[in-house]
Structures are given as structure tokens and as C-alpha cells.
Structure 1
Amino acid sequence: MTNVTELSKVKAYGNVIDGKIMHTGESMESVNPATGEVWATIPLSQKNEVELVTQAARGAFEDWADLPARTRGDYLRKIGDMLSQHATELLELETKNNGWVLDEHAYLAEVLKQLWYDAAGGAALVGGQGRTVQMGTDDFGFTLRKPYGVVVGILPWNAPLFTFTIKAAYALAAGNTIILKPSEHAAVACLRYGELISDILPKGVLNVISGYGKDIGDDLVAHKEVDKVSLTGSIATAELITKATAHSPKSLLFELGGKSPNIVFEDADIEQAAQGVMNGIFTRNAGQICSSASRILIQRSVFDEVIERVKEMMTKKDAVRMGDTLDINNSMGPIANIVQYKKVCSYIDETANDEYEVVFGGRYGGDVLLPNEPKFANGFWVEPTLVKAKDQTQKLCREEIFGPVGVAIPFDTEEEAIELANDSTFGLAAGVWTQDLARAHRLIDKLNAGNVWVNTYFRVAADLPFTGVKESGYGTDSILDYTYEKACVMTIK
């Protein structure tokens, strides 16, 4: 905990409450994970700010909900248009915050704009989602879709701008007002995003508040003025929210973690499958996405061939380029924060045990991986790592690592592949690599996952749901999920 005046050499970002930028008495340091150095400060909000932000969102709700849907859509289009001017600034802030390489963010800029435009177009459709019900000659039944009221969106540190956008755009399109609470590990871009958006929307419609979950989390989600909570994060956070709201029940939406399988059958296009295995876990943000394909299930007859091809791809010169995350020529960033870095390193240390065989990788630390670039010596860098496991009982096969660490496991039959894939407490995503169309359909039907991709991986779209089953959560950040259905009956005589 640091007083703002003690950090005058770095920029201080404030909360966005009721259309104004507000600084609290206390702040915390924001650390660039590539260098380990402080580069900004963010507010450490307390109960007072929680009360201010909830009252602001509640006070703005009725006027916002009463606007014609097309008018709300016009506001959202203006936000999308704004990104054409400010996307680079926002993406650079997020790169400094969580270590995603800027090349990945360049693609993300277009995704963010399209989400606002899609929500704008969908706003006018909400009113048409009601139903009419035949109840007899004297009674007329129908339903309406109505906004919940005040929505709280809890954001993760790995993809703050994306989750900010998908929650805010569709909640606002449905007629709700919203409070975004970014992770204290990656709040800067969200605070600036909220500042830019507050210049477009009526005051209080969108608010951003920063702070530790332990300080403001329970008070925020359990507040009597909050009607719905949408979380993208960990199951531990979901448990805390569920407990906090037990005495003040409200609609909950949870998009949680995963331990997703990527299944390669012997009839797959090996080159395509190897590329899919590589891209499924060794991503530009170092495997820190909830749907990372960290369990690599490969049919035994092609197991060695696929592993060797992935190794060739990952170990050739310049296959993985680490360094300045603002340099678009670099292809993988660091782990996003010190807490997660230590966790990932502990899993890599596990690979020294006899039950694993390291195929490649296994090193960590900026001083080790970037020895010729001293400014990154204290950064949270981890080498892409692939290990073999004889079966799925080991720790690395069962727990979510959330880093660039994949575990390859052999299987013999289709039935065994399904059994292994479903033998997890998670159920977010799965990949299938096969040329057999009938098999593809069988796997789609049998896999316990909210998303299944065949001969591709992590393909999402604004008009497709993204959800999980089991401990991966439930619900979607869609317009309809930000409304409830009101039943109405009229007697006509």
C-alpha cells in the first residue's frame, strides 16, 4: 500500500465514478511483468467508493433503461468508433499491464470494435425476444425481456480489455448500467478505457472501480443496489462471490477456468494437428487463457510423430521470440504477475519428477531466457514447456496451470479418448483433430465441454455463445443473459 505522493514519477490512474475521475487516498503500484518495474499506480478503493459507485449506477439506471433501444445502440456505436482513435493507446497500456505481446493486441483492437457494433445492433432486438402464449379466448399471455438493473462485472488479469468489452457492451445494450471491477494486477487499461467511455455515455451508466477483492469485493457484489454479477475468473473467486451473495440473492454468471483437452487421432492431418497443438497452449500471452489446451491427448500410433513435429516447430530458430512486448516482432510475452509467475514455476519444477519426461523447455527467469537484455532480468519470463505423462493421474494433468506448460498423454481408442477428455472437474473447451466426419460428430456429442472445435482451436465469434460446464461455470455474456423474462397476462372481455 503506497501513498500517491510517494510515486510522483509514475502516472496515477483514477476510478471512473458517475462520469468523473476520482483518486482515493491510497494507491498500489502497477508492475510491468516484462521488466518487473513499477510504471503506474491505481486506486485502492474502500467501502466509501463502493457506496459512491453503486449509487451512481443505480441513479443512472432508469433513464438509461427508458431510452429507446436504438438510441442505446447509437451510444454503443460511438464507443466502437472511438476505438479507432484510442485502440493503440489502450492496447499498449494493457501490454505493459499483463505482458500480452502487442501483435496479439493489434488483432484484438478489431475484435473490441466489432463487439460494440454487434451489441449496438442487438440492442433493438431485445424487445422482440418476448413470446405470446395462447391462454384461451378471454386471456392473452405474453412475455417481455427486461434489464436486471445494476450489473457488476468482475474482470480477470489475463484479458481485461476483452472481458471489459464483452460484459459492458451487452449489459448496456440490454438496458442495464454497469460497474467494472478489474483485477488489481491489471487495471490500468480498464481505468483509461472507462475514462474514454464516460466521455460518451450519460454519467453513471458505466463506472470502473479498482482495488483489492478482499477490501471491496464482498461489499460490491452483495450490495443491495446490485442486481447481477458477471465474473470471468477463478473458481475460488466464484466461491467467494456465491458466499457473499447468499444473504442477498441475485443472478450470477460465471466463466471460470479450464483444463482443456486437444485430441489428435491417427487419421488427422499431422502437420495441421501439430500446429493446432502448438497454438492451443503456446500462445502469445504464454498460455494464460482459460481455454488453453494444456492436455494434449494423442493416439498412440502417431504419438511419437506428433510430439516430434511439435518439438521441431517449437525449437527451430526464432520459433519463439521473447523480449519487448511492444515490439510486434516478438511472439510471446511473460507471465502477467509475480503471484502467477511463482505458481507456474512451481509446476515446471514438478517436471523433474520421474513420472514426467520433458520434451522441451523447463527454464524460467528473465536472466536465464534473455541473458543479453538486462532490462528484462527481473521479468516474469517462462520458457514454453512440453512434457510427456504415462497417464492422467499426475498433478500437471489435472490442475489448471495457466501458463505455457502442456502435458502430452497417449490413448488407444476413441472411447478411451472420450473417457480421458471428460475425466476432469472442468468443462470449458476441447479440440478434436480427425478427417473422419462421423467421428467428429460423435466427439462433439460426447465431450463434456461448452465449446468444441474440430480441426481448429479457439475459434470464437460474437454470435456464438462461449460458456462452460461443471467447474468451468455457466451462463454467457450475451444480451439475453443480461435480461430476465417477465410474464404478463391480460384478461380481455
Structure 2
Amino acid sequence: MIRKYGLYIDGRYVEPLSGRRLPSVNPYTGEVWAEVPDAGAEDVELAVAAARRAYRETWSQTSGVARAALMLKLASLIESSADRMSTIESSDNGKIVRETHSQMKWVGRQLRFFAGYADKLFGQHIPLDQRDTLDYVVHEPYGVVGLITAWNSPLALLANKLAPALATGNCVVVKPSEHASVSTLEFAALVEEAGFPKGVFNVVTGGVEAGRALVDAQGVAKVSFTGSPGVGREIAAAAGRRLVPVTLELGGKSPNIIFDDANLDKAVVGALAGIFGATGQTCVAGSRLLVQRGVYDEVVARVSRRAAEIRMGNPLDHATEMGTVANEPQFRRILAAIEEARASGARLVTGGRRATGPGLESGYFIEPTVFADVRNESRLAQEEIFGPVLAIIPFDTEAEAIAMANDSRFGLAAGIWSNDISRVLRVSRAVQAGSVWVNTYRALAAQAPFGGFKESGIGRERGEAGLLEYLTTKNVMIDFSDAERDPFAIKN
């Protein structure tokens, strides 16, 4: 039976004004399992109006203590619903339930972390030269913010944005990817159950028209987007025309660097996690594996052997290690990138095809793919593929590794594998990346800031830095003297 959903606007599910709907295809079965609305500009306008009304009439008068209580209730609801919600998300994007289940817990962790800030948004007294003037700073919410998320981890990515936005007192309109919207629409019911005032949280699903309308909406005071650099540029340009601030979490081509003194058992596992975890569909994927020459052949052999053994299958089976690609367009793009790499002369060690076998017939499965002897200047090493495709690149010296790591237009994440603490400190300082993992990879913490350099984005999510993204600063200056002043000279 196909599930049918409505837009979530002003505390209730409603049909899109246009009547248009989009199919949601289960990437494992290849069958339509749900339908979501294809919102138009008028639907987005209604959602933004609801959010503005909620901010003006209720949310802006809601205390930090009350906001925190609602967020903690929502955290409990998503945690207790983890089994159901992870099944929904895995059905929508093909990610293994082992990961989506932990991501539901991550949503709860984010809500709990930022709820702790809701009643602690302190200002600051500024001592001035003029002793008869009181000056203070307060931090205030923007009002209504637009949150646009990607299809690879819909609720985990939403939590990065939603938790600080709510804690700081903003109302939100969420636009999930048209390729994976169901879990966000289901999450709206939990927001309602938690008791949030209507209009604080709104969801508009759909394609390009809905996204553009949200970015262009006059009532939206800030936009936060996770997705591709190409779309990020368009959003930044559109927001710039209205002089609206943006937070952009974009792509990556992250270097995962193995030095010859590394613990290879740990490093090989880290290499696998970096590129084959989540089927490589993660912005921090360690898709460039830089390996020092002394251990190069051994690492290539061990990574390739383990990659060929990865268990693919039903994403809802807890024994499955790698699920499907999330949707057909991405499936085709990955296969085309693999063929281009083969044609360019990269040495294919394992994988490189659509995966076949029992239980894989209908799904968008791609074999874990490893290329060796890759040139760092090649397209394979420079372009984000967003799939289970690893480029292994040899290097000789530390300086060469740093130069290769930084020879990219991206700068989201990096991994360093070494037992030499001096080397670790030197390389972590020199590598241009917003997150640097040492002797681990693809690790998360709600307290730790996350974001990129260069074309990997603008601004930060998570941690205190992520909180500040949803606050604007106001300065108040009060002259309490009785003295008259010269009206034609600035007072300083």
C-alpha cells in the first residue's frame, strides 16, 4: 500500500494547492512506496506566513525554559520512535538501518544538547570610555529561517539545523530533498505530539520550485542549506540578492592520509569506514586515500580485499553492511564516473560495476570500488562522486602528503593515521579542512563544530559555533547623563 502524505503547515497536514505529487521510490525494491506533495510557491508562502505568525504571536514570547522543555520532550519522542523512524528513512534512501537507527538517537542528542542553551543565551556588558553611558549586547533570533536538507541523512542533517534554530527562538520552514522526504514529514507528527505551538515547525516538500520559493521568500530571514556546491552557489546568490545570511554545508573530496608508522589494522578499518560507510554517500567521505610509499602495496591489498567482502543486501537487515545508492539519478552518475575513471587509465583493483546476486536484483547496488595508482590531479581525485568509489594515491614525504591533501577546491574533512604525535600536530595544522580526525574517521559529537573551508561551505553547524549561526547581535547604548551635547559632532 502506497503511503500518501500532505504538507505540514501551521500545525496540520494539508494538500498542495496545485494538487501535484511526487513518487518516493524505495531504492532497494525499485517500487513506489509513498507519495509526497510537490509544493509550489503559493504553498511555501503559506508556510512562511504561518511561521511568521507563530513567531510574532507565541514563539518570541516563549521563555528559554519552555523552549527547552519542548525540545527535551521531542528528543524523548524521536528516541522512543527510533525503530519505526529508522525503518522509514532506510526505506526512503536505502541507507542501512544499522546507521539510520543510530542517527535517530543522534537527533535526540542534538536536541538535548541545544536545549541546554535555550535559557542561557546571555548578553554582554561593554565598558565604554564614557562613564555616563551604559552599553550592552543582546543576541536575538532571526525570526523565520529556511532549512533545506539533503537526501543522504534527512533527519540527522535536519537536527544540525533545527536544534539550534529552536533553542535560539526561531521558527522554521523545512524543505527536505524530493528524493527523501518521508521521514521529515513523519517527524512533523512528533513535533506536534511534543506540544510545539502550531506554525513553529513547517515542512514543504517538492523540487526546484519549492526550494527557490523558500530562498526567495521575503519573510525568511536566514537560509541554511546542506547539499551540492552547485546548488549552494545558487542559493547563496539568491540570498545575496536579498542580503539574507546563509549557512552552507556543501561537498567534499576529503583526504584520508596513512603514514608508514600508522597502526594499519586501525587505518584500514578507518579507510573502509571513510568511503564505504553509508555507501559513500556522505559529504565527509574519505574518497582520497593518500598512502605513504612504504606501506602502499600492503594497504592497497588489505583495503581491496576487505572491500570485496562487504555484505550488501536489504537495508533493513541488520546483517547488511552496505545498502543501495539512494536514487536512480545518483546511481547513474556514480556508474558514469567509474567508467570515466577506467577510461582515463586509473587502475581498477576491485568492484567497478552494478552489484548482482541474490537479493540485489531490483536495488540500486554498486560494488565497493577501489582504484589504485590514481593521480591527484585526475577527475577521479578532484570531483566528488558521492558513492562507494575510493581513489588510492601514493606519496613519499610528509610535505608531499600535505600538498596533495590541500590540492583540492574542497576542505570539509581530513583523516590522519600516524603514531608520531609531532607529525600529527604538524599535519593537522597544515591541512585545510574544517574537521580533522586523527586515528579515527567519520566520528560525530554534538558539542564539536562542523563545517568546511573553500567550496565545502560557509559557517558552522553543531557546538556553540552552530548556535551562533541562528542569532543576530544587537547593541544597546544608554546615555544616563543630564549633560547636553554638540549636535554637530559625533559622540565618542
Question: What is the rounded CA distance, in whole Å, between the counterparts of 1:135 and 1:338 in structure 2?
Answer: 64
1:392 paired residue among 376, 385, 392:
376
| Match of residue 186 from structure 2 | 192
Q: Provide runs of 4+ in structure 1 moved above 4 Å.
A: none
| Match of residue 416 from structure 1 | 400
Matches within 5 A, 1:392-471: 392-471=376-455
Question: What is the rounded CA distance, in whole Å, between the counterparts of 1:234 and 1:351 in structure 2?
Answer: 21
* 2:294 matches 1:306: no
* 2:11 matches 1:23: no
Matches within 5 A, 1:160-175: 160-175=154-169
Native 8 Å contact 1:355 1:389 kept in 2:
no
Question: What is the rounded CA distance, in whole Å, between the counterparts of 2:421 and 2:23 in structure 1?
Answer: 52
* 2:342 matches 1:355: no
SS at match of 2:81: helix
Question: What is the rounded CA distance, in whole Å, between the counterparts of 1:131 and 1:386 in structure 2?
Answer: 57
Q: Percent identity?
A: 39
Question: What is the rounded CA distance, in whole Å, between the counterparts of 1:354 and 1:219 in structure 2?
Answer: 41
* 2:310 matches 1:320: yes
| Match of residue 133 from structure 2 | 139
Native 8 Å contact 1:135 1:141 kept in 2:
no
1:33 paired residue among 23, 27, 48:
27
Give how far 1:467 is off: 0.7
| Match of residue 288 from structure 1 | 281
Native 8 Å contact 2:24 2:33 kept in 1:
yes
Give how far 1:312 is off: 3.0
One-letter code aligned to 1:253 = T
User: Cα deviation per residue 1:411-461 (whole Å; 9 max; x = unaligned)?
Assistant: 111111000000000000000011111111111111110000111112221
| Match of residue 4 from structure 1 | none
Question: What is the rounded CA distance, in whole Å, between the counterparts of 1:209 and 1:354 in structure 2?
Answer: 42
Give how far 1:84 is off: 3.2
User: Cα deviation per residue 1:349-393 (whole Å; 9 max; x = unaligned)?
Assistant: 12422521111111215xxx22x33xx423210010110134212
Matches within 5 A, 1:453-492: 453-477=437-461, 478-492=466-480
One-letter code aligned to 2:12 = K
Question: What is the rounded CA distance, in whole Å, between the counterparts of 2:110 and 2:131 in structure 1?
Answer: 44
One-letter code aligned to 2:138 = L
Residues 464 and 129 of structure 1: is their aligned pair in 2 closer, same or farther, counting only changes over 3 Å? farther
Question: What is the rounded CA distance, in whole Å, between the counterparts of 1:389 and 1:401 in structure 2?
Answer: 18
Native 8 Å contact 1:355 1:394 kept in 2:
no
Root-mean-square deviation (Å): 1.3
SS at match of 2:83: helix
| Match of residue 78 from structure 2 | 83
Give how far 1:279 is off: 1.1
Question: What is the rounded CA distance, in whole Å, between the counterparts of 1:146 and 1:246 in structure 2?
Answer: 21
1:254 paired residue among 248, 253, 258:
248
Question: What is the rounded CA distance, in whole Å, between the counterparts of 1:323 and 1:391 in structure 2?
Answer: 33
Matches within 5 A, 1:44-59: 44-59=38-53
Give how far 1:306 is off: 1.2
Native 8 Å contact 1:130 1:485 kept in 2:
no
Native 8 Å contact 1:271 1:309 kept in 2:
no
| Match of residue 90 from structure 2 | 95
| Match of residue 6 from structure 2 | 14
Give how far 1:247 is off: 2.9
Q: 5+ residue gaps in structure 1?
A: 1-8
Question: What is the rounded CA distance, in whole Å, between the counterparts of 1:464 and 1:482 in structure 2?
Answer: 16
1:151 paired residue among 145, 152, 160:
145
One-letter code aligned to 1:339 = P
User: Cα deviation per residue 1:278-335 (whole Å; 9 max; x = unaligned)?
Assistant: 111011x2000000000000011111011112123233xxx41111111111111000
| Match of residue 268 from structure 2 | 274
Native 8 Å contact 1:262 1:293 kept in 2:
yes
Equivalent pairs counted in the alignment come to 473
Normalised by the length of structure 2, the TM-score is: 0.94
Native 8 Å contact 2:123 2:136 kept in 1:
no
| Match of residue 332 from structure 2 | 342
Question: What is the rounded CA distance, in whole Å, between the counterparts of 1:164 and 1:268 in structure 2?
Answer: 36
Question: What is the rounded CA distance, in whole Å, between the counterparts of 2:344 and 2:468 in structure 1?
Answer: 50
One-letter code aligned to 2:418 = T
Question: What is the rounded CA distance, in whole Å, between the counterparts of 1:354 and 1:188 in structure 2?
Answer: 39
